[in-house]
Structure 1
Amino acid sequence: MADRAGVIHDLGYRHYDGPRDGVATIARTLFVTGLRHAFGLGRSGKSKILPFLLLGLSTLPAAIVVGVVTLVGLSDLPLTYAGYTNQTQLLVSLFAAAQAPVLFSRDLRYRSIVLYLARPLPAYVVALTRWASLTTALLVFTVLPVLVLYAGGLLAGLDVSDQTTDLLKAVALLLLVSSMLAGITGFISSVSLRRGFAVVGSIVALVVVPGVVTAVQAIASEEGAEQVGVAAGLASPWSLTNGLASAWDAGVEVFTPPEGGWVVAYLAVAVLIAGVGLAAIVARFLKVGSQ
Protein backbone atom coordinates (compact mmCIF):
# COMPACT_ATOMS: atom_id res chain seq x y z
CA MET A 1 0.00 0.00 0.00
CA ALA A 2 1.33 3.46 -0.96
CA ASP A 3 2.52 5.71 1.86
CA ARG A 4 0.19 8.56 2.74
CA ALA A 5 1.60 12.05 2.37
CA GLY A 6 -0.55 13.53 5.13
CA VAL A 7 -0.13 12.79 8.82
CA ILE A 8 -2.72 13.37 11.53
CA HIS A 9 -1.81 13.10 15.21
CA ASP A 10 -4.59 11.84 17.48
CA LEU A 11 -4.64 14.14 20.50
CA GLY A 12 -7.87 12.76 21.83
CA TYR A 13 -10.17 15.31 20.22
CA ARG A 14 -12.82 14.78 17.58
CA HIS A 15 -11.63 12.44 14.82
CA TYR A 16 -11.03 13.78 11.31
CA ASP A 17 -12.02 11.59 8.37
CA GLY A 18 -11.83 14.15 5.56
CA PRO A 19 -9.27 14.50 2.76
CA ARG A 20 -5.61 14.81 3.67
CA ASP A 21 -3.55 17.40 1.81
CA GLY A 22 -0.03 16.42 0.88
CA VAL A 23 3.34 18.13 0.50
CA ALA A 24 2.34 20.07 -2.63
CA THR A 25 -0.55 21.81 -0.89
CA ILE A 26 1.56 22.62 2.18
CA ALA A 27 4.37 23.99 0.00
CA ARG A 28 1.94 26.12 -1.99
CA THR A 29 0.49 27.55 1.22
CA LEU A 30 3.97 28.32 2.59
CA PHE A 31 4.91 29.99 -0.69
CA VAL A 32 1.87 32.27 -0.68
CA THR A 33 2.33 33.06 3.00
CA GLY A 34 6.01 33.87 2.46
CA LEU A 35 5.18 36.12 -0.49
CA ARG A 36 2.63 37.99 1.58
CA HIS A 37 5.02 38.35 4.52
CA ALA A 38 7.71 39.77 2.23
CA PHE A 39 5.44 42.78 1.76
CA GLY A 40 4.22 42.80 5.36
CA LEU A 41 0.76 41.50 4.45
CA GLY A 42 -0.83 39.46 7.21
CA ARG A 43 1.56 41.00 9.74
CA SER A 44 1.52 44.11 11.93
CA GLY A 45 1.03 47.56 10.48
CA LYS A 46 4.63 48.64 11.02
CA SER A 47 5.81 45.58 9.08
CA LYS A 48 4.17 47.02 5.97
CA ILE A 49 5.83 50.44 6.17
CA LEU A 50 9.32 49.65 4.86
CA PRO A 51 8.44 47.31 1.95
CA PHE A 52 5.67 49.55 0.64
CA LEU A 53 7.75 52.69 1.18
CA LEU A 54 10.57 51.19 -0.89
CA LEU A 55 8.07 49.99 -3.51
CA GLY A 56 6.53 53.45 -3.69
CA LEU A 57 9.93 55.11 -4.06
CA SER A 58 10.82 52.65 -6.78
CA THR A 59 7.57 53.15 -8.72
CA LEU A 60 7.12 56.91 -8.34
CA PRO A 61 9.83 57.93 -10.86
CA ALA A 62 8.26 55.60 -13.44
CA ALA A 63 4.89 57.27 -12.93
CA ILE A 64 6.49 60.70 -13.34
CA VAL A 65 8.25 59.61 -16.53
CA VAL A 66 4.96 58.28 -17.90
CA GLY A 67 3.25 61.57 -17.14
CA VAL A 68 5.97 63.58 -18.88
CA VAL A 69 6.05 61.31 -21.94
CA THR A 70 2.27 61.40 -22.27
CA LEU A 71 1.88 65.16 -21.81
CA VAL A 72 4.88 66.27 -23.86
CA GLY A 73 4.43 63.64 -26.53
CA LEU A 74 8.00 62.34 -26.70
CA SER A 75 8.91 59.92 -29.46
CA ASP A 76 10.67 57.57 -27.05
CA LEU A 77 11.07 56.87 -23.35
CA PRO A 78 13.95 58.80 -21.73
CA LEU A 79 15.35 55.51 -20.36
CA THR A 80 15.00 51.82 -21.11
CA TYR A 81 13.23 49.26 -18.95
CA ALA A 82 16.48 47.55 -17.95
CA GLY A 83 18.07 50.95 -17.45
CA TYR A 84 15.33 51.95 -15.04
CA THR A 85 16.08 49.01 -12.74
CA ASN A 86 19.75 49.90 -12.94
CA GLN A 87 18.89 53.35 -11.61
CA THR A 88 16.81 51.93 -8.72
CA GLN A 89 19.10 49.03 -7.80
CA LEU A 90 19.84 50.54 -4.38
CA LEU A 91 16.13 50.38 -3.49
CA VAL A 92 15.93 46.79 -4.76
CA SER A 93 18.97 45.82 -2.72
CA LEU A 94 17.54 47.42 0.43
CA PHE A 95 14.26 45.59 -0.08
CA ALA A 96 16.06 42.25 -0.44
CA ALA A 97 18.30 42.92 2.56
CA ALA A 98 15.41 44.01 4.78
CA GLN A 99 12.88 41.32 3.85
CA ALA A 100 15.08 38.23 3.55
CA PRO A 101 15.40 37.92 7.35
CA VAL A 102 11.60 37.95 7.58
CA LEU A 103 11.46 34.72 5.58
CA PHE A 104 14.62 33.01 6.84
CA SER A 105 15.98 34.34 10.13
CA ARG A 106 12.80 34.34 12.23
CA ASP A 107 11.89 30.68 11.69
CA LEU A 108 15.40 29.53 12.58
CA ARG A 109 15.90 31.94 15.47
CA TYR A 110 12.62 31.12 17.22
CA ARG A 111 12.75 27.42 16.27
CA SER A 112 9.34 27.60 14.59
CA ILE A 113 11.07 25.77 11.75
CA VAL A 114 10.59 22.61 13.84
CA LEU A 115 6.84 22.88 13.27
CA TYR A 116 7.32 23.12 9.50
CA LEU A 117 9.62 20.13 9.47
CA ALA A 118 7.14 17.93 11.31
CA ARG A 119 5.98 15.13 9.06
CA PRO A 120 5.39 15.03 6.14
CA LEU A 121 7.20 18.23 5.03
CA PRO A 122 10.92 17.73 4.16
CA ALA A 123 13.44 20.42 5.02
CA TYR A 124 14.43 20.98 1.40
CA VAL A 125 10.82 21.80 0.50
CA VAL A 126 10.73 24.54 3.14
CA ALA A 127 13.98 25.96 1.79
CA LEU A 128 12.74 25.91 -1.80
CA THR A 129 9.42 27.57 -0.95
CA ARG A 130 11.13 30.31 1.08
CA TRP A 131 13.56 30.99 -1.76
CA ALA A 132 10.73 30.99 -4.29
CA SER A 133 8.72 33.43 -2.15
CA LEU A 134 11.62 35.88 -1.90
CA THR A 135 12.49 35.54 -5.59
CA THR A 136 8.88 36.21 -6.57
CA ALA A 137 8.64 39.17 -4.18
CA LEU A 138 11.78 40.68 -5.74
CA LEU A 139 10.40 40.04 -9.21
CA VAL A 140 7.16 41.81 -8.32
CA PHE A 141 9.13 44.68 -6.77
CA THR A 142 11.24 45.17 -9.90
CA VAL A 143 8.69 44.39 -12.61
CA LEU A 144 5.91 46.67 -11.33
CA PRO A 145 7.72 49.95 -12.17
CA VAL A 146 8.75 48.51 -15.53
CA LEU A 147 5.13 47.67 -16.32
CA VAL A 148 4.16 51.24 -15.42
CA LEU A 149 6.74 52.48 -17.91
CA TYR A 150 5.50 50.00 -20.53
CA ALA A 151 1.89 51.08 -20.10
CA GLY A 152 2.96 54.72 -20.39
CA GLY A 153 4.90 53.98 -23.58
CA LEU A 154 1.88 52.35 -25.16
CA LEU A 155 -0.40 55.20 -24.08
CA ALA A 156 2.04 57.64 -25.68
CA GLY A 157 1.71 55.78 -28.98
CA LEU A 158 5.23 54.31 -29.06
CA ASP A 159 5.92 51.30 -31.28
CA VAL A 160 4.35 48.24 -29.65
CA SER A 161 6.83 45.76 -31.12
CA ASP A 162 9.91 47.67 -29.97
CA GLN A 163 8.50 48.30 -26.51
CA THR A 164 7.48 44.67 -26.05
CA THR A 165 10.90 43.41 -27.14
CA ASP A 166 12.65 45.74 -24.68
CA LEU A 167 10.21 44.70 -21.95
CA LEU A 168 10.87 40.99 -22.46
CA LYS A 169 14.64 41.58 -22.30
CA ALA A 170 14.19 43.48 -19.05
CA VAL A 171 11.94 40.81 -17.51
CA ALA A 172 14.47 38.09 -18.34
CA LEU A 173 17.23 40.12 -16.68
CA LEU A 174 15.01 40.87 -13.67
CA LEU A 175 14.22 37.19 -13.20
CA LEU A 176 17.92 36.42 -13.24
CA VAL A 177 18.91 39.14 -10.77
CA SER A 178 15.94 38.34 -8.49
CA SER A 179 17.04 34.71 -8.21
CA MET A 180 20.61 35.81 -7.45
CA LEU A 181 19.59 38.35 -4.80
CA ALA A 182 17.22 35.84 -3.18
CA GLY A 183 19.96 33.23 -3.00
CA ILE A 184 22.54 35.62 -1.54
CA THR A 185 20.33 37.34 1.03
CA GLY A 186 18.45 34.15 1.85
CA PHE A 187 21.64 32.30 2.72
CA ILE A 188 23.05 35.21 4.73
CA SER A 189 19.78 35.45 6.67
CA SER A 190 19.64 31.70 7.29
CA VAL A 191 23.12 31.83 8.84
CA SER A 192 22.86 35.19 10.65
CA LEU A 193 19.86 34.60 12.86
CA ARG A 194 19.94 38.15 14.24
CA ARG A 195 18.05 40.36 11.81
CA GLY A 196 20.47 43.26 12.22
CA PHE A 197 23.48 41.13 11.32
CA ALA A 198 21.61 39.63 8.36
CA VAL A 199 20.64 43.06 7.03
CA VAL A 200 24.19 44.41 7.38
CA GLY A 201 25.69 41.34 5.72
CA SER A 202 23.23 41.57 2.85
CA ILE A 203 23.90 45.28 2.36
CA VAL A 204 27.64 44.59 2.19
CA ALA A 205 27.04 41.92 -0.45
CA LEU A 206 24.53 43.89 -2.53
CA VAL A 207 25.60 47.53 -2.06
CA VAL A 208 29.22 47.75 -0.91
CA VAL A 209 30.67 45.02 -3.13
CA PRO A 210 28.91 46.28 -6.30
CA GLY A 211 30.15 49.78 -5.48
CA VAL A 212 33.72 48.52 -5.30
CA VAL A 213 33.27 46.60 -8.56
CA THR A 214 31.94 49.71 -10.31
CA ALA A 215 34.92 51.73 -9.06
CA VAL A 216 37.34 49.08 -10.33
CA GLN A 217 35.60 49.04 -13.71
CA ALA A 218 35.70 52.83 -13.96
CA ILE A 219 39.42 52.89 -13.18
CA ALA A 220 40.09 50.02 -15.60
CA SER A 221 38.25 51.85 -18.36
CA GLU A 222 40.17 55.03 -17.67
CA GLU A 223 43.52 53.21 -17.68
CA GLY A 224 42.75 51.21 -20.81
CA ALA A 225 42.62 47.87 -18.96
CA GLU A 226 39.14 46.87 -20.11
CA GLN A 227 39.71 43.14 -19.57
CA VAL A 228 40.41 43.75 -15.89
CA GLY A 229 37.14 45.64 -15.57
CA VAL A 230 35.21 42.95 -17.42
CA ALA A 231 36.68 40.28 -15.13
CA ALA A 232 35.83 42.36 -12.06
CA GLY A 233 32.20 42.38 -13.21
CA LEU A 234 31.97 38.68 -12.36
CA ALA A 235 32.12 39.54 -8.64
CA SER A 236 28.73 41.22 -8.26
CA PRO A 237 25.16 40.25 -9.18
CA TRP A 238 24.42 43.80 -10.29
CA SER A 239 27.52 44.10 -12.49
CA LEU A 240 26.64 40.73 -14.03
CA THR A 241 23.10 41.87 -14.80
CA ASN A 242 24.20 45.24 -16.16
CA GLY A 243 26.91 43.62 -18.25
CA LEU A 244 24.39 41.23 -19.78
CA ALA A 245 21.97 44.10 -20.38
CA SER A 246 24.71 45.95 -22.24
CA ALA A 247 25.60 42.87 -24.30
CA TRP A 248 21.95 42.21 -25.14
CA ASP A 249 21.38 45.81 -26.24
CA ALA A 250 18.87 46.39 -23.44
CA GLY A 251 19.83 50.03 -22.97
CA VAL A 252 22.34 49.85 -20.09
CA GLU A 253 25.79 51.36 -20.44
CA VAL A 254 28.70 50.04 -18.36
CA PHE A 255 32.33 51.13 -18.13
CA THR A 256 33.70 47.83 -19.44
CA PRO A 257 31.03 45.97 -21.47
CA PRO A 258 31.58 42.22 -21.92
CA GLU A 259 31.96 40.88 -25.44
CA GLY A 260 32.30 37.50 -27.08
CA GLY A 261 33.05 34.71 -24.64
CA TRP A 262 32.72 37.07 -21.70
CA VAL A 263 28.98 37.30 -22.32
CA VAL A 264 28.66 33.53 -21.95
CA ALA A 265 30.83 33.70 -18.82
CA TYR A 266 28.62 36.42 -17.33
CA LEU A 267 25.48 34.37 -17.94
CA ALA A 268 27.07 31.18 -16.59
CA VAL A 269 28.32 32.90 -13.43
CA ALA A 270 24.92 34.53 -12.86
CA VAL A 271 23.16 31.18 -13.11
CA LEU A 272 25.85 29.64 -10.90
CA ILE A 273 25.38 32.29 -8.20
CA ALA A 274 21.63 31.71 -8.18
CA GLY A 275 22.10 27.93 -8.05
CA VAL A 276 24.81 27.97 -5.37
CA GLY A 277 22.75 30.36 -3.25
CA LEU A 278 19.73 28.06 -3.44
CA ALA A 279 21.86 24.97 -2.75
CA ALA A 280 23.42 26.67 0.29
CA ILE A 281 19.96 27.53 1.66
CA VAL A 282 18.78 23.96 1.14
CA ALA A 283 21.92 22.62 2.87
CA ARG A 284 21.35 24.97 5.80
CA PHE A 285 17.75 23.83 6.24
CA LEU A 286 18.72 20.19 5.89
CA LYS A 287 21.28 20.66 8.65
CA VAL A 288 18.67 22.26 10.89
CA GLY A 289 16.18 19.52 10.07
CA SER A 290 18.63 16.81 11.08
CA GLN A 291 19.21 18.30 14.53
Structure 2
Amino acid sequence: MSEAGVIHDIGYQRYDGPRLGRFAMQQALYVHGLRAAYGLGRSAKAKIFPWLVFGIMLLVAVIVAAVRSTIGEVIFTYTQFADQMSFLIIFFVAIVAPQLVSRDLRSGTLPLYFSRPLRAADYVAAKFAALASAIWLLLGVPQFIMFLGAAFTTKTGFKGVWNEVLDLVPGWGYSLLWAVMFAGIGLLIASFTGKQAFAAGGIVAVFLMTAPIVGVLASLPSTTANSLAGLASPMTLIAGINQWISGDEGTGLDLGRFGPVYAIEAVCLIASCLLLLLARYRKVASL
Protein backbone atom coordinates (compact mmCIF):
# COMPACT_ATOMS: atom_id res chain seq x y z
CA MET A 1 0.00 0.00 0.00
CA SER A 2 1.61 3.29 -1.08
CA GLU A 3 1.58 6.40 1.05
CA ALA A 4 0.28 9.57 -0.60
CA GLY A 5 1.49 13.02 0.38
CA VAL A 6 -0.98 15.78 1.10
CA ILE A 7 -0.40 19.45 0.29
CA HIS A 8 -2.11 21.86 2.65
CA ASP A 9 -2.90 25.42 1.60
CA ILE A 10 -2.37 27.49 4.78
CA GLY A 11 -3.03 30.83 3.14
CA TYR A 12 0.43 32.21 2.32
CA GLN A 13 0.23 34.67 -0.52
CA ARG A 14 2.70 34.28 -3.36
CA TYR A 15 4.84 37.23 -4.41
CA ASP A 16 3.75 38.43 -7.85
CA GLY A 17 5.69 41.70 -7.93
CA PRO A 18 8.80 42.58 -9.96
CA ARG A 19 12.12 40.83 -9.35
CA LEU A 20 14.51 43.73 -8.91
CA GLY A 21 17.78 41.81 -9.16
CA ARG A 22 21.30 42.26 -7.85
CA PHE A 23 21.53 46.04 -8.13
CA ALA A 24 18.48 46.51 -5.91
CA MET A 25 20.02 44.12 -3.37
CA GLN A 26 23.26 46.10 -3.41
CA GLN A 27 21.34 49.34 -2.97
CA ALA A 28 19.35 47.91 -0.06
CA LEU A 29 22.53 46.66 1.64
CA TYR A 30 24.20 50.03 1.09
CA VAL A 31 21.30 52.03 2.55
CA HIS A 32 20.99 49.63 5.47
CA GLY A 33 24.74 49.84 6.13
CA LEU A 34 24.80 53.63 5.99
CA ARG A 35 21.86 53.86 8.36
CA ALA A 36 23.42 51.30 10.71
CA ALA A 37 26.67 53.28 10.78
CA TYR A 38 24.84 56.11 12.54
CA GLY A 39 22.50 53.87 14.51
CA LEU A 40 19.40 54.85 12.53
CA GLY A 41 16.63 52.32 12.91
CA ARG A 42 18.38 50.78 15.91
CA SER A 43 18.24 51.28 19.67
CA ALA A 44 19.23 54.51 21.39
CA LYS A 45 22.38 52.81 22.70
CA ALA A 46 23.57 52.19 19.15
CA LYS A 47 23.22 55.89 18.34
CA ILE A 48 25.30 57.22 21.24
CA PHE A 49 28.86 56.73 19.97
CA PRO A 50 28.52 57.67 16.27
CA TRP A 51 26.48 60.78 17.05
CA LEU A 52 28.84 61.72 19.89
CA VAL A 53 31.77 61.63 17.47
CA PHE A 54 29.76 63.49 14.85
CA GLY A 55 28.74 66.10 17.42
CA ILE A 56 32.34 66.68 18.55
CA MET A 57 33.48 67.19 14.98
CA LEU A 58 30.59 69.56 14.28
CA LEU A 59 31.46 71.53 17.42
CA VAL A 60 35.09 71.84 16.30
CA ALA A 61 33.93 73.02 12.86
CA VAL A 62 31.62 75.63 14.42
CA ILE A 63 34.46 76.93 16.63
CA VAL A 64 36.81 77.14 13.63
CA ALA A 65 34.16 78.99 11.61
CA ALA A 66 33.39 81.37 14.50
CA VAL A 67 37.04 82.23 15.09
CA ARG A 68 37.59 82.90 11.41
CA SER A 69 34.48 85.06 11.09
CA THR A 70 35.30 87.16 14.16
CA ILE A 71 39.07 87.67 14.09
CA GLY A 72 39.91 86.40 10.62
CA GLU A 73 42.33 83.73 11.83
CA VAL A 74 42.35 80.31 10.11
CA ILE A 75 42.93 77.69 12.80
CA PHE A 76 43.32 74.97 10.19
CA THR A 77 42.32 74.43 6.58
CA TYR A 78 39.80 71.97 5.15
CA THR A 79 42.47 69.35 4.52
CA GLN A 80 44.08 69.90 7.91
CA PHE A 81 40.70 69.30 9.55
CA ALA A 82 40.82 65.62 8.56
CA ASP A 83 44.36 65.27 9.91
CA GLN A 84 43.38 66.86 13.22
CA MET A 85 40.36 64.57 13.59
CA SER A 86 42.28 61.38 12.75
CA PHE A 87 41.92 59.70 16.14
CA LEU A 88 38.17 60.27 16.18
CA ILE A 89 37.96 58.71 12.73
CA ILE A 90 39.91 55.66 13.94
CA PHE A 91 37.53 55.06 16.84
CA PHE A 92 34.52 55.67 14.60
CA VAL A 93 35.74 53.01 12.17
CA ALA A 94 36.56 50.65 15.04
CA ILE A 95 32.96 50.78 16.24
CA VAL A 96 31.12 50.95 12.92
CA ALA A 97 33.05 48.44 10.77
CA PRO A 98 32.32 45.47 13.09
CA GLN A 99 28.64 46.44 13.13
CA LEU A 100 28.53 46.25 9.34
CA VAL A 101 30.25 42.88 8.85
CA SER A 102 31.00 41.12 12.16
CA ARG A 103 27.30 41.01 13.07
CA ASP A 104 26.52 39.15 9.85
CA LEU A 105 29.23 36.59 10.61
CA ARG A 106 28.05 36.08 14.18
CA SER A 107 24.34 35.87 13.38
CA GLY A 108 24.86 33.51 10.44
CA THR A 109 22.94 35.65 7.93
CA LEU A 110 25.60 35.42 5.19
CA PRO A 111 24.36 32.04 3.85
CA LEU A 112 20.91 33.62 3.60
CA TYR A 113 22.32 36.58 1.65
CA PHE A 114 24.25 34.36 -0.73
CA SER A 115 21.32 32.02 -1.31
CA ARG A 116 19.87 34.83 -3.43
CA PRO A 117 21.43 36.08 -6.71
CA LEU A 118 23.70 38.26 -4.54
CA ARG A 119 27.41 37.67 -5.17
CA ALA A 120 30.32 38.13 -2.81
CA ALA A 121 31.48 41.11 -4.88
CA ASP A 122 28.05 42.74 -4.47
CA TYR A 123 28.17 42.31 -0.69
CA VAL A 124 31.72 43.70 -0.46
CA ALA A 125 30.91 46.67 -2.71
CA ALA A 126 27.78 47.57 -0.72
CA LYS A 127 29.46 47.36 2.69
CA PHE A 128 32.56 49.22 1.50
CA ALA A 129 30.48 51.99 -0.07
CA ALA A 130 28.35 52.30 3.08
CA LEU A 131 31.31 52.67 5.44
CA ALA A 132 33.21 54.99 3.09
CA SER A 133 30.12 57.19 2.76
CA ALA A 134 29.67 57.28 6.54
CA ILE A 135 33.29 58.35 7.07
CA TRP A 136 33.11 60.93 4.29
CA LEU A 137 29.96 62.46 5.79
CA LEU A 138 31.70 62.53 9.17
CA LEU A 139 34.33 64.80 7.63
CA GLY A 140 32.49 66.47 4.77
CA VAL A 141 29.59 67.96 6.76
CA PRO A 142 31.85 69.77 9.29
CA GLN A 143 34.00 70.99 6.39
CA PHE A 144 30.88 72.42 4.78
CA ILE A 145 30.05 74.25 8.01
CA MET A 146 33.56 75.71 7.97
CA PHE A 147 32.92 76.78 4.38
CA LEU A 148 29.63 78.49 5.28
CA GLY A 149 31.31 80.41 8.08
CA ALA A 150 34.02 81.63 5.72
CA ALA A 151 31.74 82.31 2.74
CA PHE A 152 29.21 84.44 4.63
CA THR A 153 31.89 86.58 6.29
CA THR A 154 34.22 87.11 3.35
CA LYS A 155 35.09 90.72 2.58
CA THR A 156 35.87 90.21 -1.11
CA GLY A 157 32.37 89.26 -2.30
CA PHE A 158 31.89 86.57 -4.91
CA LYS A 159 35.61 86.24 -5.48
CA GLY A 160 36.11 85.32 -1.85
CA VAL A 161 33.30 82.75 -1.97
CA TRP A 162 34.75 81.24 -5.14
CA ASN A 163 38.18 80.97 -3.51
CA GLU A 164 36.58 79.13 -0.60
CA VAL A 165 34.91 76.73 -3.04
CA LEU A 166 38.31 76.07 -4.64
CA ASP A 167 39.66 75.25 -1.17
CA LEU A 168 36.65 73.16 -0.12
CA VAL A 169 36.58 70.82 -3.12
CA PRO A 170 40.15 69.54 -2.60
CA GLY A 171 39.29 69.22 1.10
CA TRP A 172 36.34 67.00 0.23
CA GLY A 173 38.59 65.00 -2.09
CA TYR A 174 41.09 64.57 0.73
CA SER A 175 38.28 63.42 3.02
CA LEU A 176 37.25 60.88 0.39
CA LEU A 177 40.79 59.48 0.42
CA TRP A 178 40.57 59.11 4.20
CA ALA A 179 37.17 57.44 3.85
CA VAL A 180 38.25 54.94 1.19
CA MET A 181 41.49 54.03 2.96
CA PHE A 182 39.99 53.60 6.42
CA ALA A 183 36.90 51.77 5.13
CA GLY A 184 39.03 49.20 3.31
CA ILE A 185 41.33 48.52 6.24
CA GLY A 186 38.56 48.53 8.85
CA LEU A 187 36.28 46.15 6.96
CA LEU A 188 39.11 43.75 6.15
CA ILE A 189 40.07 43.40 9.81
CA ALA A 190 36.46 43.12 10.97
CA SER A 191 35.65 40.46 8.37
CA PHE A 192 37.83 37.86 10.12
CA THR A 193 35.85 37.66 13.36
CA GLY A 194 32.23 37.63 14.41
CA LYS A 195 33.05 39.20 17.78
CA GLN A 196 32.68 42.95 17.58
CA ALA A 197 34.98 43.61 20.56
CA PHE A 198 37.84 41.66 18.98
CA ALA A 199 37.29 43.36 15.63
CA ALA A 200 37.26 46.83 17.22
CA GLY A 201 40.43 46.09 19.18
CA GLY A 202 42.17 44.81 16.07
CA ILE A 203 41.28 47.92 14.08
CA VAL A 204 42.51 50.30 16.78
CA ALA A 205 45.69 48.25 17.22
CA VAL A 206 46.56 48.32 13.51
CA PHE A 207 46.13 52.09 13.26
CA LEU A 208 47.76 53.07 16.53
CA MET A 209 50.62 50.55 16.61
CA THR A 210 51.88 51.63 13.20
CA ALA A 211 52.36 55.24 14.34
CA PRO A 212 55.47 54.52 16.51
CA ILE A 213 57.09 52.77 13.54
CA VAL A 214 56.95 56.07 11.66
CA GLY A 215 58.75 57.78 14.54
CA VAL A 216 61.47 55.12 14.64
CA LEU A 217 62.10 55.29 10.89
CA ALA A 218 62.06 59.10 10.94
CA SER A 219 64.79 59.13 13.61
CA LEU A 220 67.21 56.96 11.62
CA PRO A 221 70.31 58.65 10.16
CA SER A 222 69.37 57.55 6.64
CA THR A 223 67.71 60.27 4.55
CA THR A 224 65.89 57.66 2.47
CA ALA A 225 64.46 56.02 5.60
CA ASN A 226 63.30 59.43 6.84
CA SER A 227 61.52 60.16 3.55
CA LEU A 228 59.84 56.74 3.45
CA ALA A 229 58.89 56.70 7.15
CA GLY A 230 55.34 57.88 6.47
CA LEU A 231 54.60 54.76 4.45
CA ALA A 232 54.45 52.70 7.66
CA SER A 233 51.15 54.17 8.90
CA PRO A 234 47.86 54.81 7.05
CA MET A 235 47.52 58.24 8.67
CA THR A 236 50.93 59.51 7.64
CA LEU A 237 50.55 57.83 4.26
CA ILE A 238 47.49 59.95 3.52
CA ALA A 239 49.16 63.07 4.93
CA GLY A 240 52.15 62.40 2.68
CA ILE A 241 49.93 62.28 -0.40
CA ASN A 242 48.41 65.62 0.60
CA GLN A 243 51.87 67.12 1.07
CA TRP A 244 53.04 65.80 -2.29
CA ILE A 245 50.01 67.15 -4.17
CA SER A 246 49.42 70.46 -2.38
CA GLY A 247 52.90 71.27 -1.10
CA ASP A 248 51.58 71.65 2.46
CA GLU A 249 54.58 70.97 4.70
CA GLY A 250 52.59 71.20 7.93
CA THR A 251 52.57 67.41 8.20
CA GLY A 252 56.16 67.32 9.44
CA LEU A 253 57.13 64.71 6.83
CA ASP A 254 60.19 65.05 4.64
CA LEU A 255 59.10 63.29 1.45
CA GLY A 256 62.08 64.21 -0.65
CA ARG A 257 61.64 62.76 -4.13
CA PHE A 258 59.42 59.92 -2.89
CA GLY A 259 56.04 61.69 -3.13
CA PRO A 260 54.78 59.43 -5.97
CA VAL A 261 55.70 56.38 -3.89
CA TYR A 262 53.12 57.46 -1.29
CA ALA A 263 50.39 57.64 -3.95
CA ILE A 264 51.36 54.25 -5.40
CA GLU A 265 51.29 52.60 -1.98
CA ALA A 266 47.90 54.11 -1.19
CA VAL A 267 46.41 52.74 -4.42
CA CYS A 268 47.98 49.32 -3.82
CA LEU A 269 46.83 49.24 -0.19
CA ILE A 270 43.22 50.09 -1.02
CA ALA A 271 43.17 47.61 -3.91
CA SER A 272 44.72 44.89 -1.73
CA CYS A 273 42.12 45.42 1.00
CA LEU A 274 39.28 45.11 -1.50
CA LEU A 275 40.76 42.02 -3.16
CA LEU A 276 41.34 40.33 0.20
CA LEU A 277 37.79 41.22 1.26
CA LEU A 278 36.48 39.70 -1.96
CA ALA A 279 38.52 36.54 -1.44
CA ARG A 280 37.31 36.33 2.15
CA TYR A 281 33.63 36.50 1.24
CA ARG A 282 33.97 34.22 -1.76
CA LYS A 283 35.28 31.66 0.68
CA VAL A 284 32.33 32.29 3.01
CA ALA A 285 29.88 32.05 0.12
CA SER A 286 31.29 28.69 -0.94
CA LEU A 287 30.82 27.12 2.50
- If you compute each CA radius of gyration, which structure gives the higher value, 1 or 2? 2
**Contact (CA 8 Å) 2:214, 2:233: kept in 1 or not?**
no
Distance 2:35 2:240 in 1: 32
After TM superposition, give the deviation of residue 280 of structure 1 in Å.
1.1
Residue 35, structure 1, aligned to residue 31, structure 2: no
The reply on whether 1:273 has 2:263 as its aligned counterpart is no
C-alpha distance in 1, partners of 2:251/2:10?
63
Code of the aligned partner of 2:61: A
The question of 1:50 aligning with 2:41 is answered no
Seen in structure 2, the aligned counterparts of structure 1 residues 171 and 259 have a Cα distance that, compared at 3 Å, is farther
1:236 Cα deviation after fit = 1.6
Instruction: Tell me how far apart the structure 2 counterparts of residues 174 and 105 of structure 1 sit (CA, whole Å).
Output: 25
Distance 2:80 2:38 in 1: 24
Partner Cα separation in structure 1 for residue 247 and residue 38 of structure 2: 29
1:243 to 237, 240, 249: 240
What is the CA distance between 1:18 and its match in structure 2? 2.2
The answer to whether the 8 A contact 2:62-2:145 is kept is: yes
Residue 256 of structure 1: CA displacement? Answer: 2.5
Q: Which residue of 1 aligns with 2:206?
A: 205
User: Equivalences for 1:62-141 in 2 at 5 Å?
Assistant: 62-72=61-71, 74=72, 77-141=74-138
Aligned equivalent of 2:5: none
Q: Which amino acid aligns with 1:284?
A: R
1:165-212, Cα deviation, whole Å (9 max, x unpaired)? 222222222212211111111011000221111111100112231x21
Task: Give the Å deviation of 1:247.
Answer: 1.9
Tell me what 1:18 maps to.
Answer: 17
Shift of 1:110: 1.3
Counterpart secondary structure, 1:192? coil
TM-score of the two chains, using structure 1 as the length reference: 0.88
CA distance in 1, matches of 2:10, 2:86: 51
SS in 1 for 2:191: helix
AA aligned to 1:144 is: V
Partner of 1:216: 216
Maintained 8 Å contact 1:82/1:173? yes
- Distance across 2 between alignment mates of 1:202 and 1:244: 22
Shift of 1:30: 0.7
- 2:282 equivalent to 1:286: yes
Asked whether the equivalents of residues 124 and 278 of structure 2 are also in contact (C-alpha less than 8 Å), the reply is yes
Q: Which residue of 2 aligns with 1:3?
A: none
Which moves more between the two structures, 109-118 or 163-172? 163-172
Deviations 1:219-269 (A, max 9, x none): 35xx5x442122121122111111111222264512333243x22111111
Unaligned regions of 5+ residues in structure 1, if any? Answer: 1-9
Q: Superposition pairs for residues 255-274 of structure 1, below 5 Å?
A: 255-260=252-257, 262-274=258-270
Q: How many residues align?
A: 275
CA RMSD, aligned part only?
A: 2.0
Matched, 1:143 2:140: yes
Within 2, Cα distance between the matches of 1:188 and 1:46? 24
The structural deviation recorded for 1:11 is 9.4
Identity %: 32
> Matched residues in 1 for 2:245 and 2:149: separation?
23
Cα distance in 1 between the residues matched to 2:192 and 2:10:
35
SS at match of 2:246: coil
Name 2:6's counterpart in structure 1: none
Q: Which residue of 2 aligns with 1:186?
A: 187
TM-score with structure 2 length normalisation?
0.89
Q: Does the CA-based 8 Å contact 1:107-1:113 persist in structure 2?
A: yes
Once the 2 structures are TM-superposed, how far is the Cα of residue 218 of structure 1 from its aligned partner?
5.0
